[in-house]
Structure 1
Amino acid sequence: MLRSLSIKNYALIDTLQVNFDGGFITITGETGAGKSILLGGLSLILGKRADLNSLRDPESKCVLEAAFDVRGYELAEFFAQEDLDYEEQTIIRREILPSGKSRAFINDTPVTLTVLASLGEQLVDIHSQHQTLRLTENDFQFRFVDAVAGVGGMLQDYRKKLRAFRKEEKQLMQLQEQKQQAIKEHDYNQFLLNELIEAKLEPGLLEELEGTYERLSNVELIKEQLGYGTQLLEAEQYGILNQLTDLKNAVNKLASFGEEYKELAGRIASVFLELDDAGNELIGLEGNLEDDPALLEQVNTRLQQLYDLQKKHGVQEVETLMEIRDALEEKVVATEGLDEEIARAEARVAALREELHTAAKAIRVKRTEVIPGLKKALETALMPLGMPNARFDMAIVPVDEFRPNGMDELEFLFSANKGGSFNELKKVASGGELSRIMLVIKSMLAGYMKLPTIMFDEIDTGVSGEVSNKMAAIMQKMSASMQVFTITHLPQVAARGNRQFKVFKAEANGRTVTGIKELSDEERVEELAEMLGGKTLTDSALAHAKELLAVKE
Structure 2
Amino acid sequence: MLTSLYIKNYALIDELNVSFNNGLSIITGETGAGKSILLGGLSLVLGKRADLSQVKTADQKCVIEAVFDIANYDLKELFKTLDLDYDVQTIIRREILASGKSRAFINDTPVTLESLVSLSSYLIDIHSQQQTQQLTQDDYQFKVIDALADNKLNLQEFSKRLIDYKILQKNLEELKLSKTELIKEYDYNLFLSNELNEINLEKINLEDLETQYEELNNVEVIGEKLSSARSILNAESLGVSDQINTVKQELSKITSFGKAYESLRERITSIGIEIEDILTELDDLEDKLSSDPQELERVSNTLQIVNNLFQKHSVSEIEELKEIKNDLQLKINNTESLDETITLKEQEILKLNEKLNQFALKIHNKRKKVIPVFVSKLEAILSELGMPNAKFNVALEATEKFTKNGKDNLQFLFMANKGSSFNELKKSASGGELSRIMLAIKSILAEYIQLPSIMFDEIDTGVSGEISNKMGEIMKQMSGKMQVFTITHLPQIAAQGDSHFKVFKTDIDDITHTQLKKLNEEERIVEIAQMLGGLNITDSAMAHAKQLLN
TM-score category by the smaller chain?
A: 0.7 to 0.9
SS class of match (2:528): helix
Measured in 2, the distance between the counterparts of 1:300 and 1:13 equals 95
Question: Which residue of the partner structure matches residue 406 of structure 2?
Answer: 406
Q: Tell me the CA shift for residue 101 of structure 1.
A: 1.4
Are 2:496 and 1:496 equivalent residues in the alignment?
Answer: yes
**CA, structure 1 residues 212+150, in 2 after alignment: closer, same or farther (shift >3 Å)?**
same
**CA, structure 1 residues 149+214, in 2 after alignment: closer, same or farther (shift >3 Å)?**
same
Q: Tell me the CA shift for residue 285 of structure 1.
A: 7.8
Q: Tell me the CA shift for residue 32 of structure 1.
A: 1.1
Measured in 1, the distance between the counterparts of 2:335 and 2:93 equals 59
Q: Tell me the CA shift for residue 127 of structure 1.
A: 0.5
Q: Tell me the CA shift for residue 168 of structure 1.
A: 3.6
**CA, structure 1 residues 83+242, in 2 after alignment: closer, same or farther (shift >3 Å)?**
closer
Give the conservation status (yes or no) of the 8 Å contact 1:67–1:92: yes
Question: Which residue of the partner structure matches residue 459 of structure 2?
Answer: 459
Bigger mean CA deviation after superposition, 181-190 or 334-343: 334-343
Residue type at the aligned position of 2:213: E
SS class of match (1:360): helix
| Residue pairs, 1:127-142, within 5 angstroms | 127-142=127-142
Are 2:214 and 1:214 equivalent residues in the alignment?
Answer: no
Are 2:85 and 1:85 equivalent residues in the alignment?
Answer: yes
Question: Which residue of the partner structure matches residue 441 of structure 2?
Answer: 441
Tell me the alpha carbon deviations over residues 116-175 of structure 1, each in whole angstroms, 9 at most, x when there is no partner: 222221111111011111111110011001111111111111112222323444444555
Larger radius of gyration: 1
Bigger mean CA deviation after superposition, 176-185 or 513-522: 176-185
Identity %: 52
Residue type at the aligned position of 2:155: L
Q: Tell me the CA shift for residue 466 of structure 1.
A: 1.2
Bigger mean CA deviation after superposition, 350-359 or 76-85: 76-85
Give the conservation status (yes or no) of the 8 Å contact 2:67–2:91: yes
Question: Which residue of the partner structure matches residue 99 of structure 1?
Answer: 99
Give the conservation status (yes or no) of the 8 Å contact 1:382–1:440: yes
Bigger mean CA deviation after superposition, 502-511 or 441-450: 502-511
Tell me the alpha carbon deviations over residues 22-58 of structure 1, each in whole angstroms, 9 at most, x when there is no partner: 1111111111111111111111122111121112222
Question: Which residue of the partner structure matches residue 6 of structure 1?
Answer: 6
Measured in 1, the distance between the counterparts of 2:414 and 2:47 equals 34
Give the conservation status (yes or no) of the 8 Å contact 1:12–1:513: yes
Give the conservation status (yes or no) of the 8 Å contact 1:212–1:299: no
Give the conservation status (yes or no) of the 8 Å contact 1:213–1:300: no
Bigger mean CA deviation after superposition, 27-36 or 88-97: 88-97
**CA, structure 1 residues 313+525, in 2 after alignment: closer, same or farther (shift >3 Å)?**
closer
Residue type at the aligned position of 2:466: E
**CA, structure 1 residues 213+399, in 2 after alignment: closer, same or farther (shift >3 Å)?**
farther
Give the conservation status (yes or no) of the 8 Å contact 1:29–1:503: yes
**CA, structure 1 residues 241+407, in 2 after alignment: closer, same or farther (shift >3 Å)?**
same
Q: Tell me the CA shift for residue 73 of structure 1.
A: 0.8
| Residue pairs, 1:65-80, within 5 angstroms | 65-80=65-80
Residue type at the aligned position of 2:111: V
| Residue pairs, 1:31-430, within 5 angstroms | 31-173=31-173, 175=175, 181-201=181-201, 202-203=204-205, 206-207=209-210, 210-211=213-214, 214=217, 301-302=301-302, 304-316=304-316, 320-430=320-430
Q: Tell me the CA shift for residue 457 of structure 1.
A: 0.5
Give the conservation status (yes or no) of the 8 Å contact 2:213–2:296: no
Q: Tell me the CA shift for residue 275 of structure 1.
A: 8.6
Residue type at the aligned position of 1:528: I
Measured in 2, the distance between the counterparts of 1:394 and 1:472 equals 27
Measured in 2, the distance between the counterparts of 1:281 and 1:535 equals 129
Measured in 2, the distance between the counterparts of 1:99 and 1:422 equals 54
Give the conservation status (yes or no) of the 8 Å contact 2:464–2:490: no
| Residue pairs, 1:21-40, within 5 angstroms | 21-40=21-40
Bigger mean CA deviation after superposition, 486-495 or 76-85: 76-85
**CA, structure 1 residues 193+431, in 2 after alignment: closer, same or farther (shift >3 Å)?**
same
Give the conservation status (yes or no) of the 8 Å contact 1:241–1:276: no
Measured in 2, the distance between the counterparts of 1:240 and 1:100 equals 104
SS class of match (1:379): helix
SS class of match (2:71): coil
Residue type at the aligned position of 2:40: G
SS class of match (1:502): strand
Are 2:17 and 1:20 equivalent residues in the alignment?
Answer: no
Measured in 1, the distance between the counterparts of 2:16 and 2:333 equals 75
Bigger mean CA deviation after superposition, 125-134 or 370-379: 370-379
Q: Tell me the CA shift for residue 191 of structure 1.
A: 0.6
Bigger mean CA deviation after superposition, 185-194 or 172-181: 172-181
**CA, structure 1 residues 338+208, in 2 after alignment: closer, same or farther (shift >3 Å)?**
farther
Are 2:516 and 1:516 equivalent residues in the alignment?
Answer: yes
Q: Tell me the CA shift for residue 70 of structure 1.
A: 1.3
Tell me the alpha carbon deviations over residues 311-365 of structure 1, each in whole angstroms, 9 at most, x when there is no partner: 3234455565445434433443354455555444433332222111111111011
Measured in 2, the distance between the counterparts of 1:103 and 1:274 equals 88
Give the conservation status (yes or no) of the 8 Å contact 1:241–1:272: no
**CA, structure 1 residues 112+299, in 2 after alignment: closer, same or farther (shift >3 Å)?**
closer
Q: How many residues align?
A: 529
Give the conservation status (yes or no) of the 8 Å contact 1:145–1:367: yes
**CA, structure 1 residues 326+503, in 2 after alignment: closer, same or farther (shift >3 Å)?**
closer
Residue type at the aligned position of 1:141: Q
Residue type at the aligned position of 1:356: L
SS class of match (1:396): strand
Residue type at the aligned position of 2:403: R
Residue type at the aligned position of 1:81: T
**CA, structure 1 residues 86+187, in 2 after alignment: closer, same or farther (shift >3 Å)?**
same
Q: Tell me the CA shift for residue 398 of structure 1.
A: 2.0
Give the conservation status (yes or no) of the 8 Å contact 1:6–1:18: yes
Tell me the alpha carbon deviations over residues 485-542 of structure 1, each in whole angstroms, 9 at most, x when there is no partner: 1111111111111111111112223322111212222222222121111122222222
> TM-score when scaled to structure 1?
0.84
Question: Which residue of the partner structure matches residue 506 of structure 1?
Answer: 506
Measured in 2, the distance between the counterparts of 1:118 and 1:280 equals 88
**CA, structure 1 residues 335+213, in 2 after alignment: closer, same or farther (shift >3 Å)?**
farther
CA RMSD between the two structures:
3.9
Residue type at the aligned position of 1:412: F
Residue type at the aligned position of 2:133: L
Gaps of 5+ in 2: 256-267
Give the conservation status (yes or no) of the 8 Å contact 2:128–2:456: yes
Give the conservation status (yes or no) of the 8 Å contact 2:209–2:299: no
Residue type at the aligned position of 1:49: R
SS class of match (1:122): coil
Measured in 2, the distance between the counterparts of 1:513 and 1:132 equals 31
Question: Which residue of the partner structure matches residue 528 of structure 2?
Answer: 528
Question: Which residue of the partner structure matches residue 236 of structure 1?
Answer: none
Q: Tell me the CA shift for residue 80 of structure 1.
A: 2.6
